[in-house]
């Protein structure tokens, strides 16, 4: 399949995509702050540079985009062009995620992953449920949470 926009336009569009302050991340930040949780942003001293760090609770949160992290959901679709590039890129992103999570676990950090499909799309979770589950997790001693849960059909 041929791309519908010229290469220079596609390059400009792709360079506009950022890894910080994404819509899902901003939504999570606003809701958790409103619920009384305080956090640091993008701590470079931690593996994987988590989107949010809750130092008092020794917890980190990642807001993962389904496309960029290769989540198996309705929001993820392999691009039809440059297949080798994208498969390599997304496989590397998954490897980096796994290494960062392993290092955080070894250092005693509790980990939360919120997938983009939990916040938007046809099967999104009610936002109150997302904030409630995260608040319950932050208040608990549980090691890890992933929203939507692994294996959830969406």
pLDDT given at position 20: 72
Residue 3 lies in a domain: no
Q: Please tell me the pTM assigned to this model.
A: 0.85
With a cut of 50, which residues of the chain have pLDDT below it? 153-154
Residue 47 lies in a domain: yes
Residue 76 lies in a domain: yes
CATH of the domain at 124: 3.40.960.10
Tell me which residue range forms the domain holding 87: 18-147
pLDDT given at position 1: 55
CB 94 within 8 A of CB 70: yes
pLDDT given at position 18: 64
Residue 154 lies in a domain: no
Residue 37 lies in a domain: yes
pLDDT given at position 82: 87
Domain count across the chain: 1
Residue 71 lies in a domain: yes
CB 50 within 8 A of CB 60: yes
């Amino acid at each position: 399949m041929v791309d519908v926009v010229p290469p220079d336009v596609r390059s400009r569009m792709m360079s506009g995509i950022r890894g910080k302050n994404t819509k899902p991340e901003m939504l999570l930040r606003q809701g958790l702050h409103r619920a009384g949780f305080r956090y640091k942003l993008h701590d470079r001293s931690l593996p994987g540079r988590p989107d949010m760090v809750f130092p008092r609770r020794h917890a980190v949160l990642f807001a993962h985009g389904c496309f960029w992290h290769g989540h198996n959901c309705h929001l993820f679709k392999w691009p039809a062009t440059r297949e080798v590039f994208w498969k390599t890129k997304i496989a590397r992103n998954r490897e980096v995620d796994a290494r960062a999570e392993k290092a955080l676990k070894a250092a005693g950090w509790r980990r939360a992953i919120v997938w983009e499909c939990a916040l938007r799309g046809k099967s999104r979770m009610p936002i109150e449920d997302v904030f409630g589950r995260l608040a319950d997790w932050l208040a608990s001693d549980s090691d890890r949470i992933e929203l939507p849960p692994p294996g959830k059909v969406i």
